Structure 1
Amino acid sequence: MQTHISTTPFGRRAVSLGMIASQVAAKSVPQGATVDKWKVFYSIRDARELLGATDRSLTLLNALLSFHLEPTLSADGDLIVWPSNEALTARANGMPPTTLRRHLAVLVDCGLIIRRDSPNGKRFARKGRGGEIEQAYGFDLSPIVARAEEFQDLAEAVRDEKKAFHVAKERLTLLRRDIVKLIDAGIEENVPGNWAGVLRTYQAIVGRLPRSAPRQTVDDICTDLHGLYTEIREVLESFAKTQNPDANESHNGRHIQNSNPDPLRESESGLGNKEEAGGTAVEPDNLRSLPKRELPLGIVLDACPAVQDLAQGGAIRHWRDFLAAAELARPFLGISPSAWREAREAMGDQHAAITIAAILQRSDQINNAGGYLRSLTDRARDGKFSTWPMIMALVRAKLDATKPPKDGRGSGPSGNADGGSDLQVSPALLKTLKDPKFR
């Protein structure tokens, strides 16, 4: 007696063209085709995003494959399994019934299984007198055999894409590290060039990188960074050749030994001491009577408004923003990374940043910012430097600039006819400024 094989689902579930396509693909299985069910499952797992499958649906597929007792799936064998919902729930780690039905539908929509529903929707197998299975109603696994090569190709494509993405991120990390260190080398070695502009260009390129970037975006940014890296490298190599035109000293027989291991530091320190001797250093040696509390951020910004031009977004709201602006001001002032590092170690990050902001504010009066910073760092190590007098001097200078002329004629900088000032200073700050130790 011939038995009809069902091709439509039971109940209200409708037939889609995708289901029909899966059934057609299942019929095209070559005779004698055999695949390892777990190897195909691993390929499906790796390519699940391309197939539209989910992790929960793959848990169900794993459970369905476990009901097929043989380790292989053969086109000549019986590929229909008929577990009950209770049995599936047990092998799917207790998945709720509603979730179970939803993800079974996902497997059908992805073309991984085919429903072979009985007239009443039950799953069972009818056996003959000899115990052989004559008719089974449940889930057909034949699409897994028919599409085994397709799943393998998709999985390899996904693995190749992941590898390419990993290589692109490695390249991005190396380029970012090389560019930053080459810029620092150019500044520290006094190589001629607009290093502040180069740093801004680098930050503009990196700023286009989102938190979760696709591989194409990473490749585009790597291309731009490699171009910038090539330009910086050529400048440094050209400067190195001009500084050492004859790298092989054995040609002329001379041997020049530099007894100073850090000439940049010596030159900076020397110039810094000269500036300090000229009256640019206003810090007293006796710091015992200075306030012990930290400088308020508002007073620092009022005394050093120039640093706000380097802030991201044009505003400084927190000390974190202030430190970031100081990091940008360092190469702008031509301060070497080693001088900045020593200042942070001696003063602390916050006071070192305040010092940078004060130097930036008085950049027209300081010829060598790096040497001046090293001089202040040495004073800080000896406990003879505080940022309070430096900031108070800038605030006092700002107040003095707004005072009317002594003869009473004309108007002050604020534009008021009576020479008044628009600058508002709190009484506490005025009291502090009148303290003799800040004069």
Structure 2
Amino acid sequence: MESGSVTTPFGRRPMTLGMLASQVTSQKIEPGASIDKWKIYRALCEAKPLLDISDRALTVLNALLSFYPKGELAADDSLVVFPSNTQLSLRCHGMAEQTIRRHMAVLVAAGLVIRKDSPNGKRYARKSRNGEIREAFGFSLAPLLARACEIERLAAKVSADRLYIQTLKERLTLTRRDISKLVHAAISEELPGDWQAINGRFHDILDQLPRGAGAHAVASTLDLLDALRNEIVKRLEIQIKTENLSANGSQNERHIQITESESYLDSEVAVEAGTPELTAVNSPMIDPAIDGDAERPQPQARTNTASTIFPLSLVLQACPEVRSYGPAGTVRTWQELIAAGAVVSSMLQISPSAYKDACRIMGPQAASVVLACIFERSGTINSAGGYLRGLTRRAQRGEFAIGSMLMALARTRGPHDAHH
């Protein structure tokens, strides 16, 4: 290292080994080396997580680069810029001088800028008679040229890491979608197996993934979800092999055990032939009394399914939003309403246990009607799961009638909605 190549800071600022190392590195620039100043700046912006520099420090560096008159940092030129604090503040969009000094210290500590202080600490340049700069005091940008290859390598690493975690998150999203739809298909088809427990495992895995998780946490969660998806697919493959798919159309009608009566489709036709309003009001299951002083109905055994009490058209008139979540994007039968109920239950973040309790106590058809009503009013309900549990407890005590909720929603819809 040549004599006089080391510069120490003016005033009370101490000299450090890091500053010395930056100056030594800057002396190793190859003759004729050059790099576009804005290209290296963009690489720095990409690599900032690994260099431990902030956005505001990069703003100060941007201002320093703007004072360098040429487009390229070249080894054969003077790489020292000497703006005043006032000029720096203007090009840093009015940043306070004290703030500029603090971020400048960060750039020096990171080895991106070298202070070349004059004897009195002022920034200026001495020029020859022909106007060329002979010597300048201020901030040297030489470290950017000396470390260009390192900075570009760090930027490439950050970019590759970001692409890797983006790919992981895309795979995670696809796996989540696969599991959710496969489980809902199994539940709606009432295939053998504890699908609610599998759905619970699925949500437990997702709950363990923190917000802003890194690549390692996302990869671990993805491995667990991949294993769960493979397990689900194997179970479904076994089920497909054991069923006679040629009779799928007729067998599915009989296979869905989530209803409480095998004749509910006939009942639906019979009820829809009558007047929906009268059928609903005259049913003992839907006592319209909701006032606190009204006599509460006594608990009674469920002898009718929802399809024997309400026509499906009345449910869809009151809750049109649920139609889009049927198996084929619509709801035409009670089976499809039950399947749509399972889907919106997950969308409302209702726990599998709350959904299962509602089906067990109210009956699957009644539970799907309640879920359709909750989904219709989801914008005014803070906790859909807590609301459903409350209604389930009331239904268990014989204190809840679906009719009041359903008829209130139906009255808000016009005749056009009923036949839409």
TM-score (norm 1): 0.65
| Segment of structure 1 superposing worse, 178-187 or 145-154 | 178-187
Of 313, 316, 329, 2:354 maps to: 329
CA distance in 1: counterparts of 2:3 and 2:21, whole angstroms: 22
Within 1, Cα distance between the matches of 2:124 and 2:93?
A: 23
Shift of 1:131: 2.1
- Please say which of residues 86-95 and 122-131 is displaced more in the overlay: 122-131
Aligned equivalent of 1:202: 202
Counterpart CA distance in 2 for 1:58 and 1:177 is: 40
Q: Which amino acid aligns with 2:371?
A: R
Counterpart for residue 71 of structure 1? 71
Whole-Å Cα distance in 2 between the matches of residues 155 and 294 of structure 1? 71
Q: Aligned partners of 1:338, 1:112: CA distance in 2, in Å?
A: 69
Q: Of the candidates 370, 377, 393, which is equivalent to residue 343 of structure 1?
A: 370
- 1:143-164 Cα shifts (integer Å, max 9, x gaps): 1111111111111111111111
Q: CA RMSD in A?
A: 3.8
* Deviation of 1:96 (Å): 0.3
> How far apart in 1 are the matches of 2:286 and 2:238?
49
**Aligned-pair CA distance for 1:380:** 7.2
1:31-86 deviation per Cα after TM superposition (whole angstroms, max 9, x unaligned): 11110000000000111121111111111111111111110011111111111111
Q: In structure 2, what is the equivalent of residue 430 of structure 1? A: none
Q: Please, which moves more after superposition, 6-15 or 98-107?
A: 6-15
In the alignment, does 2:55 pair up with 1:30?
no
Bigger-Rg structure (1/2): 1
Unaligned regions of 5+ residues in structure 1, if any? 250-255, 277-282, 300-322, 363-375, 384-439
Aligned to 1:180: 180
> For 1:48 and 1:117, how far apart are their aligned partners in 2?
27
In the TM superposition, residue 270 of structure 1 has moved relative to its aligned partner by: 2.2
Instruction: Name the residue aligned to 1:418.
Output: none
CA shift in 2, pair 1:361/1:173, >3 Å: farther
After superposition, the C-alpha distances for 1:290-312 in whole angstroms (9 at most, x for unaligned) are: 124699xxx9xxxxxxxxxxxxx
Unaligned runs of at least 5 residues, structure 2: 268-282, 297-347, 378-383, 409-420
Letter of the 2:354 counterpart: A
How big is the shift at 1:324?
A: 6.2
| Separation (CA, whole Å) in 1 of partners of 2:365 and 2:38 | 58
Contact 1:187 1:331 in 2 (8 A): no
Distance 2:138 2:210 in 1: 47
Letter matched to residue 44 of structure 1:
L
Residue 259 of structure 2: SS of its match in structure 1? helix
**Aligned 8 A contact 2:190 2:256 in 1:** no
| Mapping of residues 389-408 of structure 1, within 5 Å | none
- Mapped contact 1:175–1:225 kept (Cα < 8 A): yes
| 8 Å Cα contact 1:6-1:118 kept in structure 2 | no
Q: Which residue of 2 aligns with 1:83?
A: 83
Post-superposition shift, 1:197? 2.5
* Distance in structure 2 (CA, Å) of the matches to 1:175 and 1:72: 48
Q: Aligned residue for 1:291? A: 290
CA contact (8 A) 2:47 2:151 kept: yes
Which amino acid is the alignment partner of residue 90 of structure 2?
A
> Partners of 1:205 and 1:286 in 2: how far apart?
40
Question: Residues 358 and 389 of structure 2 are in contact (CA less than 8 Å); yes or no, is this contact kept in structure 1?
Answer: no
Letter in 2 for 1:90: L
Q: 1:199 to 1:261 in 2, by over 3 A?
A: closer
Look up the SS of the partner of 1:135 in the other structure.
Answer: strand
Q: Indicate how the Cα distance of structure 1 residues 56 and 379 shifts in structure 2: closer, same or farther if over 3 A, else same.
A: closer
Residue of structure 2 equivalent to 1:99? 99
Please, which moves more after superposition, 188-197 or 94-103? 188-197
Q: Report the alpha carbon displacement of residue 168 of structure 1 after superposing the two structures with TM.
A: 1.4
CA distance in 2, matches of 1:159, 1:167: 12
Shift of 1:331: 4.0
**Residue 259 of structure 2 corresponds to which residue in structure 1?**
268
The 3 A distance-change label for structure 1 pair 155 and 257 is closer
TM-score normalized with structure 2 length: 0.68
Q: Distance in 1 between matches of 2:370 and 2:30?
A: 75
Contact 1:326–1:356 (8 Å) recurs in 2: no
CA distance in 2 between counterparts of 1:286 and 1:214 reads 52
Note if contact 1:346-1:377 (Cα within 8 Å) is conserved in structure 2.
no
State the aligned residue count: 329
**Structure 2 CA distance, aligned partners of 1:138 and 1:199?**
65
Partners of 1:77 and 1:142 lie apart in 2 by 10
Give the share of equivalent positions with the same residue, in percent. 38
Q: Give the Å deviation of 1:130.
A: 2.5
Q: Tell me, in whole angstroms, the C-alpha distance in 2 between the residues paired with 1:361 and 1:242.
A: 41
Matches within 5 A, 1:279-428: 284=284, 287-288=287-288, 290-292=289-291, 327-331=352-356, 340-346=367-373, 353-357=389-393
C-alpha change, 1:106 and 1:338, in structure 2 (3 Å) is farther
Residue 234 of structure 2: aligned partner: 234
Secondary structure at the counterpart of residue 25 of structure 2: helix
